[in-house]
Structures are given as C-alpha cells and as structure tokens.
C-alpha cells in the first residue's frame, strides 16, 4: 500500500493538495472589490453600473475525466461522461454561490481531446449532458445559459480528454456575501452524499478533488497495462494503480460499485442555496465550498484571531473509507484532501442555523451544526473527528 500522506509520493503523481504553487503565483495579484470573498469580484465592466459587479470563474472536472475514460472502456457505459460534464459545471457554480450568486449564469465549455481516443459520441454525451443539467436547474428556478465554447483536438498534448469551463454572472454589490466569520458563529454542514430530491441516483459525495490519488490508490495495477493512456508515464511505477479493486467490484454495503463511487457526479447545492440565500443573506457570515483543501479550505478566509472547531461532523461516507483503507493514508491527510462528508458549510448564528437545516432537509439533504467559532490568539482550525483530533494554523 502507498501512503498518500507522504508529500514526496503525492508530488510524484504531479498533484498538490495544498496548491502552494498556485497561491504563491497569485499572491501579488489584485484581489478585486471584496478581497475576502470566496471568488474574485470585479467592477461592473459590462454594464458600467457602480451598484453592480461582475464575476468570471474557471474550473473543471480535473482528472475525473481520466477515470471516466477507464470506466467507459471497461464497461461500455458511455453515460459516465454526463457526470463529468456536471462536475465541470458544479465546480464553478458552487464556488460562485459562496459569494451570493445563485442565478443568471453564462457558461462556456472548454473540451480538449485526443481525437484518436475520444470519438464523436463521447463529445455528444458531454455536450448533451451539459444541456441536460441546465434543463434540470431551470426546473428548479436556476438559470444557466449555454454560451458555447471551445472543443479542440490536441493529441500532442492531451492523453484522453479534459473537460473544463468558465462561468460568469452579474450581481448587485449589495448582495455580495464575503467571508466575515465571527466568534460565536455556529457552522452548518451540508452533506455531500445521499440522494437529494433533484438527483436520480445515490451520490457518493466524492466531488472533483483528489481523484489522481484516489484512483491510483484504489484501483488494481492491471489497469496500468490495459489503459496506459489514463496516466502519466513519468510517474514512478510503484505509484501507478497500486490498489486492489476493480471498477466493477463492490465495497462493503455501498449502493454503487467502486467505479461509480469514484465517478459520482459532484453534487450541486444551487437549488438549496437558491432558497436559502434570499431568505437569510444578511444572517450569513460566510459560505465555504470545501473543495480543494478539504476541511482546511476555510483557513484561507480567516482574517481574525479566532478558532474554528468542527466537532460534530457528518458520517464519513463509503467512498472515503474505501480510499483510506486502500491507500493507508492517515486520517489527518484525508481531511485535508477530501470533503469527507460535507462539501458546503455556512457560518451563521444559532437561530438561523435551524432554518438552514430545515431548508436543506426539504431537499433530502442532511445538514446539521457541525461546529462553532471561538476567540483565539491566532487564526486556527481544530477538527475533532471519529479518527483523531487534528489542529491546523493559518
């Protein structure tokens, strides 16, 4: 077994949980109108209205597309590409909702493929899956407009396919939510797993983070031989598909097979936040999307001497137990890489928390108070989990 907590091992796979290089590269850039907002917010460059602002955001499905390729080749289930399309959308929209943007988005897709391996029918699944997701959101009151995009054949650069996107929107500055976490706040966590009313199957909760490590640590080495196009040949041989499981295997009593657990489409919280934000905008002190950086993500938005204590976390779902068991990763590292059961958290007062939980439950999304905020000498985070007590400083 490989231990993903070894920084050298993790870096040898060409990935970083902390994105230290990215944060170093952008540290001197202008941080926009609201420096402590979850996303960069620009003046209203399009409408020239001082009451409004613009937001342009870019993200994608990450290496989940490589896993989708492997699963498709092994099972002939081409529908997995629709989930990857959803991943590329939701990793954008659910960052934007953290600043209060919940409607009227313009979406642009960026698909780069190796044409020799990714045929027209896969492109069709991705593009139609994108529109299918937009249609679903429309029925729930959320408007996302398809603005086209770029589909490029880049066989010299792309081993299989990458699925990325940009999303933009225009928002009243008075509606912007910034990160203003305060001592006395409680934290409401919204589960990343289960089956929301707007999801047609069970969602494992995996999201679109940590998939390079997850797929290599979980899946059997025979995929290195059968699907060599799904990994970087520069990776050390012992780190390539070093797990024991096949994509069609079952894990414990999980309702999905191994491949489906890892490929479960990233849940969007947009339908829930479309109801919550208008009702409670003024009572919300921060919304954090626990994506890259896992349960440590919030540390980037601490600007006060306070301690965040998460001591009542949701149950860790099957997919993360499977990854930990196969990889022998420390639980401390797991909480820094993956969402571990909740991918969205809201900082607010105890009374408002009750309303947030009730609204989430109406969508069949489990939510509860997972922690609190207290005064401290320096910005800090404590995770009091079933698997240990972990302390982090900013």
Distance CA 291, CA 147 (A): 25
Interval 105-144: pLDDT, tens: 999 999 999 999 999 999 999 999 999 999 999 999 999 9
Say whether pLDDT at 1 is over 50: no
130 phi and psi, to 5 degrees?
Answer: -60, -50
Percent of all residues in the chain with a pLDDT value above 90, rounded to a whole number: 87
Report yes or no: 14 and 240 within 8 Å, Cβ to Cβ.
no
Q: Which residues of 50-68 are buried (b: 16+ CB within 10 A; e: fewer)?
A: eebbbbbbebbbbbbbbbb
pLDDT at 9 over 60: no
Mean pLDDT over the full length of the chain: 93
pLDDT level of residue 21 (50, 70, 90 thresholds) = low
Split at pLDDT 50, 70, 90, the class of 18 is: low
Q: Is the pLDDT of residue 2 over 60?
A: no
Q: What is the pTM of this model?
A: 0.92
pLDDT digits (tens, 9 = 90+) for 34-86: 999 999 999 999 999 999 999 999 999 989 999 999 999 999 999 999 999 99
Q: Right CATH number for 7-393 from 3.90.650.10, 3.40.50.720, 3.90.1170.50, 3.40.630.10? A: 3.90.650.10
How far is residue 247's CA from residue 162's CA, in Å, rounded to a whole number? Answer: 21
**Which tokens in the block code for residue 383?**
């995770």
CA dist., res. 333 & res. 355, Å (int):
33
The structural domains of the chain, with segments of one domain joined by +, span 7-393
- Which tens digits make up the pLDDT trace of 368-392? 999 999 999 999 999 999 999 999 9
Residue 125 near residue 81, CB atoms below 8 Å: yes
Give the whole-angstrom CA distance, residue 34 versus residue 55. 11
The SS3 of residue 371 is strand
Q: What confidence tens digit (pLDDT) does each residue in 140-189 have?
A: 999 999 998 999 999 999 999 999 999 999 999 999 999 999 999 999 99
With left for phi above 0 and alpha for psi between -120 and 50, is residue 229 left, alpha or beta? alpha
Could you tell me how many residues make up the chain? 394
- C-beta separation of 169 from 57 below 8 A: no
């Amino acid at each position: 077994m490989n231990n993903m907590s070894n920084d050298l091992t993790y870096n040898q796979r060409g990935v970083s949980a902390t994105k230290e290089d990215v944060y170093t590269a952008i540290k001197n850039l202008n941080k926009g109108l609201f420096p402590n907002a979850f996303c960069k917010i620009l003046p209203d460059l399009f409408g020239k209205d001082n009451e409004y602002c613009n937001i342009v955001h870019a993200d994608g499905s990450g290496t989940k597309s490589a896993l989708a390729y492997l699963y498709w080749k092994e099972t002939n289930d081409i529908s997995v590409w629709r989930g990857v399309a959803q991943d590329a959308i939701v990793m954008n929209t659910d960052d934007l909702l953290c600043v209060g943007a919940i409607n009227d988005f313009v979406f642009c897709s960026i698909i780069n493929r190796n044409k020799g391996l990714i045929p027209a029918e896969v492109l069709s699944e991705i593009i139609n899956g994108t529109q299918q997701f937009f249609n679903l959101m429309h029925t729930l009151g959320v408007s996302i407009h398809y603005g086209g995009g770029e589909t490029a054949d880049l066989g010299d650069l792309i081993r299989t396919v990458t699925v990325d996107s940009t999303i933009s929107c225009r928002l009243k500055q008075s509606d912007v939510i910034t990160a203003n976490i305060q001592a006395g706040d409680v934290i409401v966590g919204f589960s990343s797993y289960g089956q929301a009313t707007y999801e047609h199957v069970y969602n494992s909760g995996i999201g679109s983070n940590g998939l390079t490590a997850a797929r290599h640590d979980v899946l059997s080495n025979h995929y290195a031989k059968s699907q060599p196009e799904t990994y970087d040949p520069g990776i050390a041989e012992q780190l390539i598909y070093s797990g024991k499981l096949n994509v069609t295997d079952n894990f414990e009593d999980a309702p999905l097979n191994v491949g489906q657990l890892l490929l479960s489409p990233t849940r969007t919280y947009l339908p829930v936040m479309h109801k919550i934000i208008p009702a409670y905008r003024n009572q919300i002190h921060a919304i954090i999307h626990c994506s890259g950086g896992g349960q440590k993500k919030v540390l980037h938005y601490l600007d006060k001497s306070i301690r965040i204590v998460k001591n009542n976390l949701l149950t860790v779902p099957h997919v993360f137990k499977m990854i930990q068991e196969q990889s022998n990763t420390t639980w401390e590292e797991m909480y820094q890489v993956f969402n571990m059961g909740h991918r969205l958290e809201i900082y607010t007062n105890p009374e408002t928390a009750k309303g947030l939980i009730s609204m989430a439950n109406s969508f069949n999304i489990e939510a509860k108070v997972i922690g609190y905020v207290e005064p401290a000498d320096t910005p800090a985070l404590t995770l009091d989990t079933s698997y240990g007590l972990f302390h982090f400083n900013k």
